[in-house]
Amino acid sequence: MHANNMEDIDYAPCGDIVALFGVDCASGDTFTQSGLNYSMTSMFVPEPVISLAISPKDKKSSEAMSKALNRFSKEDPTFRTYVDAESKQTIVRGMGELHLDIYIERMKREYNVELDVGMPQVAYREAITQSVKFDYTIKSRAAAPANMDAWPGPWSRVSTKTMNLSTA
């Protein structure tokens, strides 16, 4: 197969590079004669470097987007897609902005998908990273504090009106 012409062949010797049409396969699959269970070593696929959140504008686009994403993920190992568990957004990942723009345009052109495209949402979390010593007095508005010893944490009761909230 050349860029401008194509010829049918019945046999391809070792080392030839050929193109097949109508075969259900993915990038990296190895074809051999029947009875041989050979496999080429898998190719190195770098991790995607950019992510975009996409969402269909209507139900019809949703079904077509699903078909497009399945096809694109199968044909290009550097294009990845998943649904974020926390934000419930469909995230597409690729090797660059142009790479993702091409797939978004293909979805619009080949599958008639109307999309909203944006940056993925990020779930921010805070975590306690170190202990800090402090003193604090809790003043109760009630006549007597109700069971302050049952509060969780490394606190010790000092008196009826104050508590020592030290970590030791």
Strand partners, 156: 164
Residue 139 banded pLDDT, cuts 50, 70, 90: low
What is the tens place of the pLDDT at every residue in 81-102? 999 988 899 999 999 999 999 9
Residue 32 banded pLDDT, cuts 50, 70, 90: confident
**Which one-letter DSSP state was computed for residue 78?**
T
What's the confidence (pLDDT) of residue 83? Answer: 94
User: Which H or E run includes 90?
Assistant: strand 90-94
Under 8 Å between Cβ of 79 and 103:
yes
What's the confidence (pLDDT) of residue 122? Answer: 79
What's the confidence (pLDDT) of residue 149? Answer: 46
Is 159 exposed, middle or buried, given 0-12, 13-18 or 19+ CB atoms closer than 10 A? exposed
Q: Kindly give the interhelix angle for 97-111 and 59-75, rounded to the nearest 10 degrees.
A: 130
